[in-house]
Structure 1
Amino acid sequence: MLSRETTPRSETGADRGFRLSSTVCQRAWVEIDRAALVHNVRQLKQWLSPRTELMAVVKADAYGHGAIAVAETVLGAGATWLAVATLQEGIQLREAGITAPILLLGASNTPGEVEAIAHWQLQPTLCNPQQAQLFSEQLAQLGKTLPVHLKIDTGMSRLGTSWERATPWVKSVRKLPHLQLASLYSHFATADDPDRAIMDLQHQRFQSAIAQLQAEGIPLPRLHIANSAATLCDRSLHYDFARAGLALYGLYPAPHLQSILDLQPVMQVKARVTQVKTITAGTGVSYGYKYIAPKEMAIAVVGIGYADGVPRNLSNRLQVSIRGRKVPQIGAITMDQLMLDVSSIPDLQAGEVVTLIGKDGATSISADDWADALGTISWEILCGFKHRLPRITVDNN
């Protein structure tokens, strides 16, 4: 079933306002399975500790899945907070009518950003005392008060003030007018590693910072440290929020975490065959002739390429599925098209659907498969699909 965002509308006159919204009109597209997304939210909520709320990480356009549609779906399924990386991402959600609390994970450092954050009722991350002072001064001029979240660095060496300075920093923020301390949080660097030594060290540092605050009699704000991997591997890390990103989209941060929950991939990537032809032995295929046909063979041209997010480095290594059967990609992947060896698919016709990522009958190809072939991570694959590929929301119940 197509969502309201993808239902074609009727037009009169000279095709005014005609939109290529249905898959019928697309050369290539990304399908977002809303039912799988709801399923993943429910799996995570059942796993979380009773005190823990699910904070859905929808930064980077919800890891390429479409931030607005994903945000609406996960909030309806039981997530209570959203997290984004940038101010612009937060504004996009507010403009879409989303009223849930939104945490900005990135740093904001200019008066204009403070004003925009206050106007759109977003909740910023503060990383150091100077930033806290800026927010307090600018909010005083605006006559507004904001909930703020303090980031402490327990070993990621990215944003935040050192965990050893957490107590004086929290004390100083509590004294600043116009700031309401909403949470204290940190981020793991190696939660997806089976060796827990570094993660345990970071957790100990987080606990030490908390203990110092308690020893000083300072009321604790809400606490959070768990990303998807930490959420799956250890329920003692859940605290008040679990910040789920990759798991929300149905992928596991590491192979050893795959048995914990039944997650379902949300994204499928599909394209259409645009031409089928026969080439003879010795014929070169695509730029640079990186593939030479060893025999007479049938090849298919498919309307998707590296400008859509299919990495060129997958050339001659990619497998796709047609009619539930895997076939190899051949030659250099080009900007808008790629070629397949379809000798094993009888009577293939232009217009037939090719599954690049997703399930096709008994065949399944995942973002992890691409990541393994490229020596990268599935996060990068999901975020790489460009926006000339429309996101088509479906319900595959």
Structure 2
Amino acid sequence: MTSELPDLSSQWPARAWVDLSAVADNAATLSSLAPDAGLFAVIKADAYGHGILPVARTLADAGADILGIAQLVEAVGLRAALGPGPRIAAWLYGPGAPLEEALTADVEIGIGAHWMLDEVLAAASRTGIPARVHLKIDTGMARGGFSPSEVPGLPERLGPAIADGAITIASTFSHLASGDIPDSGTTERQTALLLDLARELRDARIDTGPLHIAASSGVLLHPSSHLDMIRPGIALYGVSPDENVAPAARYGLRPAMTLSAPLVRVREVDAGTPVGYGHTYVTDAPTTLGLVPVGYADGVPRIGSNILQVSHRGRRVPMRGRVSMDQVVIDLGPGSDARVGETVVLFGDPARGESSAWDWARDTGTIAYEILTSVGARVPRSHVDGPPAADDGSAGAAGGSGTARPADQAGPISAGGPAPAATRSPGPTETGHPVPAADGRPVQTADVPAAPTAGAGDTGALLTVDAPTAADTRALAGRLAGVLEAGDLVVLTGPLGAGKTTFVQGLGAAMSVAGTIASPTFVIARSHRSTVGGPDLVHVDAYRLGGLDELDALDLDSSLEEAVTVVEWGGGTVESLAESRLEVTLHRPVGEVHVVDGPADLSELPTEEPRTVEVRAVGPRWAGVDLSALVAAS
């Protein structure tokens, strides 16, 4: 007998897939809209339901200046799990909150009332640790923050505390009331008021630090509100605050969360069949009903009964009858050959034909924020890098290639990888649930793709290098950069979590190119200019390309002849780009499946695995080139 319940998350039927590459790409996209502003990335409410620790690590790696959390205790917990490094700020707490613990944990603290200032100063005095504070001013919401009438009196209190070294103002901020209304004028008035009040403080010799007021809606719709920092929240997760006025796709934002579950019952029914509690729906013709094991305890709003749509085999189908606590019924249509075990996507990416969190919000009279943060705590979060495997292989499925695309480079969380599109069988997910094949039916096993086969002109040079950690992978790439020249083609292949994007990051660092190197999943290709007069780096995701003509049509800033071109998922597709190439295959152990089911579990993942990298030289460019240093230095 045990006093604790066993962890059954790996066996739970529903799962929220969180694409960390989407989070990183969205952060880069939002930063590009305000190139002169810092990034205060908001990860409150367990990163809007996405899992705070993996998201925090992703955003820190993506260059966020500050990670912002509403609740102080959540921030303290994050620091304990995350360790030293990224700046963390929190602004919501009550009297008697553990401010001393927060200061000891290097958490920056928001103050928007005199009692808050009193307690922060007392905590700083008791610990001897100066407090970095974020000064909140209410410019028109009547919520938290010092009111405009209180601001003139603040220098009298802040000045001595700053002079004594008890506090430093890390930033001064406010919150927009109507940022999602483009022409209300409210945003402009609030921004002007914040600037005026900050000027008063500065005139009184109070250093306000950077100013920020733009949350997601301000970033997308009000450039004049960007100021010194932007503070996006929901847009980091690929969801617009209001799809009607700021469609996410217009800005290149990609939803990070996909909520899915398997069919557990399929039945043919006659016309006139009542469905669910209260018989609120009765079939009007013969049809096929499917049972999905998720309900309002998992975040499916009960008000969505007979309203919401889900996706099966890339086609949207309606919910029928009342949403129950643990299950919903969907109408698969007459004559459906759906089978038990096939995946149903509750919401995900509309680019794949799926309902979105925004669709659910619109149809139930709420906001997408509530849909995302209402996904139940019992639903495991699996963090991957790249779109999750789709529920079928039709057009509109993840990757849009006719086969389900696995994730890539999110650390040691899953196994398997892409073989060439025409032959690859989908592999198992982290949960052990089968990934549907192209016909939507479950596949129980998967083949691990072999290293790319060298074509004509193979020099026979094949090296194998051990790279058990991400640092080893980057270091190997850095050594390889020393022999690369403009016009070289590098084709990257590898299973899930093997480190392809990490490898490219190592190349970019050694080549001294500009810009953040992240997964090119959504943008397909990125061009990184050299900062030292060397070749540029072109980073391509071939999986999304329909052919080489699409690569030529990408309008890259750098021509392929003047750059080193690195192509992920390029095996069998891009070899004709150049007569010579390096084929780099990254291997990780097959069967070593690590499930990431919530923030606490990520810190327990192994830091080393017996990963290897094979480098094969193909073509006359590499004849006589000595690559042995790659092994000798490993």
- Selected match of 2:195 from 193, 201, 207: 207
* Structure 1 position 144, deviation (Å): 2.2
Give 1:179's aligned residue.
Answer: 167
Q: Which range moved further: 140-149 or 371-380?
A: 140-149
- How many residues align? The count is 376
Give the distance between the partners of 1:272 and 1:345, measured in 2 at CA: 19
SS of the residue 1:244 aligns to? coil
Distance change >3 Å, CA 84–CA 354, structure 1 → 2: same
Q: Is the 8 A contact 1:149 1:182 kept in 2?
A: yes
Q: Is the 8 A contact 1:174 1:181 kept in 2?
A: no
Give 1:223's aligned residue.
Answer: 211
Q: Is residue 130 of structure 1 aligned with residue 115 of structure 2?
A: yes
Give 2:290's aligned residue.
Answer: 300
Give 1:288's aligned residue.
Answer: 278
Amino acid at match of 2:17: E
Distance change >3 Å, CA 383–CA 153, structure 1 → 2: same
Q: Which range moved further: 160-169 or 53-62?
A: 160-169
Gaps of 5+ in 2: 1-5, 387-520, 522-634
Give 2:76's aligned residue.
Answer: 91
Q: Is residue 325 of structure 1 aligned with residue 325 of structure 2?
A: no
Distance change >3 Å, CA 108–CA 361, structure 1 → 2: closer
> What TM-score results when the alignment is normalised by the length of structure 2?
0.57
Q: Which range moved further: 268-277 or 177-186?
A: 177-186
Q: Is residue 257 of structure 1 aligned with residue 243 of structure 2?
A: no
Q: Which range moved further: 266-275 or 179-188?
A: 179-188
Give 1:7's aligned residue.
Answer: none
SS of the residue 2:263 aligns to? strand
Q: Is residue 80 of structure 1 aligned with residue 65 of structure 2?
A: yes
Give 2:415's aligned residue.
Answer: none
Give the distance between the partners of 2:207 and 2:70, measured in 1 at CA: 28
Q: Is the 8 A contact 1:321 1:360 kept in 2?
A: no
Q: Is the 8 A contact 1:129 1:169 kept in 2?
A: no
Give 1:373's aligned residue.
Answer: 363
- Selected match of 1:191 from 179, 190, 194: 179
Distance change >3 Å, CA 347–CA 19, structure 1 → 2: same
- Selected match of 1:168 from 153, 163, 174: 153
Give 1:358's aligned residue.
Answer: 348
Distance change >3 Å, CA 394–CA 218, structure 1 → 2: closer
Give the distance between the partners of 2:16 and 2:179, measured in 1 at CA: 29
SS of the residue 2:77 aligns to? helix
Q: Deviations over 1:358-386 (max 9, x none)?
A: 14885121111111111111111111101
SS of the residue 2:230 aligns to? strand
Amino acid at match of 1:116: E
Give the distance between the partners of 1:201 and 1:262, measured in 2 at CA: 29
Q: Is the 8 A contact 2:159 2:206 kept in 1?
A: no
Give the distance between the partners of 1:196 and 1:72, measured in 2 at CA: 37
Give the distance between the partners of 1:198 and 1:18, measured in 2 at CA: 49
Q: Is residue 348 of structure 1 aligned with residue 338 of structure 2?
A: yes
Give 2:409's aligned residue.
Answer: none
Percent sequence identity over aligned pairs: 35
* Structure 1 position 344, deviation (Å): 4.3
* Structure 1 position 206, deviation (Å): 0.8
Give the distance between the partners of 1:195 and 1:153, measured in 2 at CA: 21
Q: Is residue 311 of structure 1 aligned with residue 301 of structure 2?
A: yes
Q: Which has the higher contact order (CA 8 A, sep 6+)?
A: 1
* Structure 1 position 309, deviation (Å): 0.4
Q: Is the 8 A contact 1:371 1:377 kept in 2?
A: yes
Give the distance between the partners of 2:12 and 2:320, measured in 1 at CA: 23
Give 1:274's aligned residue.
Answer: 264
- Selected match of 2:28 from 39, 42, 54: 42
Q: Deviations over 1:88-136 (max 9, x none)?
A: 21122112124311111214421x5222211221111111223212221
- Selected match of 2:130 from 120, 145, 151: 145
Amino acid at match of 1:48: A
Q: Is the 8 A contact 2:216 2:233 kept in 1?
A: yes
Q: Is the 8 A contact 2:289 2:329 kept in 1?
A: yes
Q: Deviations over 1:22-52 (max 9, x none)?
A: xxx44111111122111101111222232x2
Give the distance between the partners of 2:167 and 2:291, measured in 1 at CA: 58
For 1:52-67, list aligned pairs within 5 A.
Answer: 52-67=37-52
Give 1:101's aligned residue.
Answer: 87
Q: Which range moved further: 278-287 or 154-163?
A: 278-287
SS of the residue 2:245 aligns to? helix
Q: CA RMSD in A?
A: 1.9
Q: Is the 8 A contact 2:23 2:58 kept in 1?
A: yes
Distance change >3 Å, CA 240–CA 194, structure 1 → 2: closer
Distance change >3 Å, CA 197–CA 173, structure 1 → 2: same
Give the distance between the partners of 1:371 and 1:20, measured in 2 at CA: 27
Q: Is residue 156 of structure 1 aligned with residue 141 of structure 2?
A: yes
**Between Structure 1 and Structure 2, which shows a larger proportion of helix residues?**
1
Q: Which range moved further: 255-264 or 330-339?
A: 255-264
Distance change >3 Å, CA 344–CA 371, structure 1 → 2: same
Distance change >3 Å, CA 344–CA 296, structure 1 → 2: closer
Structure 1 residue runs of 4+, over 4 Å off?
17-20
Q: Is the 8 A contact 2:9 2:378 kept in 1?
A: no
Amino acid at match of 2:291: V
Q: Is the 8 A contact 2:182 2:221 kept in 1?
A: no
Give the distance between the partners of 2:280 and 2:343, measured in 1 at CA: 25
Amino acid at match of 1:81: I
Distance change >3 Å, CA 313–CA 171, structure 1 → 2: same
Amino acid at match of 2:220: L
Q: Is residue 33 of structure 1 aligned with residue 19 of structure 2?
A: yes
* Structure 1 position 292, deviation (Å): 1.3
Q: Is the 8 A contact 2:315 2:354 kept in 1?
A: no
- Selected match of 2:54 from 53, 57, 69: 69
Give the distance between the partners of 1:145 and 1:345, measured in 2 at CA: 69
* Structure 1 position 192, deviation (Å): 0.7
Q: Which range moved further: 244-253 or 337-346?
A: 337-346
> What TM-score results when the alignment is normalised by the length of structure 1?
0.89
* Structure 1 position 267, deviation (Å): 0.8
SS of the residue 1:85 aligns to? strand
Distance change >3 Å, CA 82–CA 170, structure 1 → 2: farther
Q: Is the 8 A contact 1:43 1:263 kept in 2?
A: yes
Give the distance between the partners of 1:344 and 1:334, measured in 2 at CA: 24
Q: Is the 8 A contact 2:295 2:324 kept in 1?
A: yes
**Between Structure 1 and Structure 2, which shows a larger proportion of strand residues?**
1
Give the distance between the partners of 1:37 and 1:308, measured in 2 at CA: 23
Q: Is the 8 A contact 1:174 1:180 kept in 2?
A: no
Distance change >3 Å, CA 18–CA 216, structure 1 → 2: closer
Give the distance between the partners of 1:31 and 1:345, measured in 2 at CA: 30
Give the distance between the partners of 2:352 and 2:26, measured in 1 at CA: 22
